[in-house]
Each structure stands twice: as structure tokens, then as C-alpha cells.
Structure 1
Amino acid sequence: MNELKSILLAIWILFISYALFLAPINESDYSFLNQMFSLQYTDPLLIAVFSLLGIWPVVYCILLLENDRASIKAWPFALGSFVLGAFSLLPYFVFHIEKRRVTNRTPKQVQAILSNRGLYILLLLLTILIMAFGLYFGNFQIYSQAFMQSRFVHVMTIDFVVLTLLSMLGIAHHAYYLNERSKRLWWLGVIPIIGALLYLLITDARQREAEE
């Protein structure tokens, strides 16, 4: 586990260094960024990835805050991911230690929202629609060109990949407070967003069966 945390720390430092000093940038990058934030850019694949980065933080809030009982508070990192993405989440996975604290730091009202099966289904359907829109109507050539020329698209894409890989640890973290069967589902994290949501739906179904 210490080796994994060392790797994550190295990835965090390299990611920050790369984003600041090595990612491509040109004179039109800032106007391109404004177009993306206003959803005015014409390529649907770029819009899709940008939109999916808005769903990822909600998923991580569910994975980390439904049971916020580890050695350090998860909520600053989870909320920070809405702005900083993986830049905010990587330090949590580096420095936290799993503990089954008696008190859950997350208020019960928030827990009720985060454990809502309807929320999982809504996020899953929204993710599938956005992915289908981007893949069907998007142009991979335009995306690759933007990836090579724009720092924003470059970092955005890498952030999406890191969030996807990091979700395997997010699932394992969530499963730590459930049962051994749930831990076996960590591999679903390799499927962007959909995998984590499927994990949540499966564990929710198992919990319902156990309560009956």
C-alpha cells in the first residue's frame, strides 16, 4: 500500500508539473477555453468530455462522502474536484488511512441524497446519453488536433483518464465500509463513470436484499 501511495504522489507531482510547464499552448488557447465553457465549440466529442468532467465529481462525492470515516476528512477533496478534478482527489488517496470511525462526518441528510438509487440511475442515463452523443457525432480528428494544440483540452483529457483510473481506488474505498463481496468489484473502475455507477447500483441492490 505504501508503494501505491508513493506512485500516486509521484503521479500528482508529475501531473501538476506537466500541466503547468509541458502541456501545449498557443495564442488561441484562451479563446478556445472560453468557447468550451460556454459550450459553443462545434465538436460534440469535446463537449461530451467537458460535460462528463462535470459528472465525475458527483460520482466521487458518492464514493468518498457516503462514509467519510477515514483518517482525514474527504469532503474538501471531493468538493475541490468540481474545480480541480484529479488534482484535488489525488492528495486524498495519498494521505488518507482507512479507518472505520464510529462517527460519519457526512450529515445524515447528505448521506440520504448520496445513497439514493434514483440518483445513480439518473447519472448513469445522463452519462450514457452524453457518451453516445460525443462518440456518434464527434470527430476524433478534430479532437486529436485540439489535444495537440490546446493546453485546456490536453489537460482536460489527461484529467479524465486519471479520474477513470483513480475510480478503482474510489470503489475500493467505498467498499471498505460495506463487505468483502463489494471489494471484488473494484475492476469496474476501468469503465469511465459507468463502471463506478454500476458498482453503486450493484451494492445498493445487495444491501436491499440483505435488509429484506
Structure 2
Amino acid sequence: MVKLQLNDVNAYGFNLFSFMGVWPLIYAGLMFIDERMQPIPAWPSFLASNGSGVMGMMPYLLLRESRPYFSGKKDGFIKLFDARLTGVALLLRTIGLIIYALYFGNFDEFIKQWQTRRFLYLMSWDFALL
């Protein structure tokens, strides 16, 4: 998948790889709004999560303080992540990936690949933790 040789890759594996790009964006919408009320910045964890998954996000999630409200003015960046259109686009991307996997994927083949390919195994655990 990393080398874009997708002929050998099951649709379930491809979708799992794609979800690891979509779900950090969903978390980013929450983290960047929450960051305004925190003593630590969210962007290093967001960048790290794109390369290492949930492990990059853990420091921010563990060190943040509980703040159930948002106060302050939303800049353009926050407005983009807080926009309904962004949420709908990410939702449609997620639904599209699920439909693609159900239509083109072979779950038995995915299980065999999951048992033999370390990258797919690690990515599955990372997504489960995310």
C-alpha cells in the first residue's frame, strides 16, 4: 500500500489504510478547537498521528486538561474544521470506504493477510486504539 501497488491489496486493507488518514482529520476537528483552552499545543500530536497513528496523538490526549466549553473567537482554521461541510465530507468519505470494502473486499482474504503481513496487523491494532 505504501508503494501504491494496490493489485495485491484487499479492499479491506486499503480501506483500513485510508481510514488512518480520515480519522485523524476527524480528531483534528476536536483537537484544534480544544487546543485553545489547553496549556499544550495540539499540532505536534496531530502531525505525529499522521505518521504514527494513535501513538502520536497520545501525548496530547493524556496531558490535556478537561475543558467542556469553548471560549474565544474562531479563526478561519477553526471555522474550517468546525464547519458542517467538513463533517459531512468526512462522513461521506467514511461511508464510501465502507461500501467499497463491502462490495470489492474479501474478508477471508483480509484475515489471511492480517495473519501474515505485519504492516496490516499493526495498522489494524492502531486503528482499533484510535
Normalising by structure 1, we get a TM-score of 0.55
Task: Say which of 65, 76, 81 aligns to 1:97.
Answer: 65
- Structure 2 gaps, min length 5: none
Secondary structure of the residue that 2:14 maps to in structure 1?
helix
Give the aligned partner of residue 22 of structure 2: 55
Aligned residues: 126
2:40 paired with 1:72: yes
Deviations 1:25-51 (A, max 9, x none): xxxxxxxxxxx1215134111111111
Shift in Å at residue 135 of structure 1?
2.1
Secondary structure of the residue that 1:130 maps to in structure 2?
helix
RMSD: 2.0
Tell me how far apart the structure 2 counterparts of residues 101 and 128 of structure 1 sit (CA, whole Å).
29
Normalising by structure 2, we get a TM-score of 0.86
Give the aligned partner of residue 110 of structure 2: 143
Shift in Å at residue 102 of structure 1?
6.1
Task: Say which of 119, 127, 145 aligns to 2:94.
Answer: 127
Answer with 1 or 2: which has the greater Rg: 1
Tell me how far apart the structure 1 counterparts of residues 13 and 120 of structure 2 sit (CA, whole Å).
8
> Quick check: 1:57–1:82 contact (8 Å CA) kept in 2?
yes
2:96 paired with 1:152: no
> Quick check: 1:52–1:127 contact (8 Å CA) kept in 2?
yes
- Structure 1 gaps, min length 5: 1-35, 164-212
Within 5 A, what are the aligned runs for 1:109-124?
A: 109-124=76-91
Tell me how far apart the structure 2 counterparts of residues 144 and 49 of structure 1 sit (CA, whole Å).
13
Shift in Å at residue 101 of structure 1?
8.3
Tell me how far apart the structure 2 counterparts of residues 101 and 117 of structure 1 sit (CA, whole Å).
17
> Quick check: 1:57–1:78 contact (8 Å CA) kept in 2?
yes
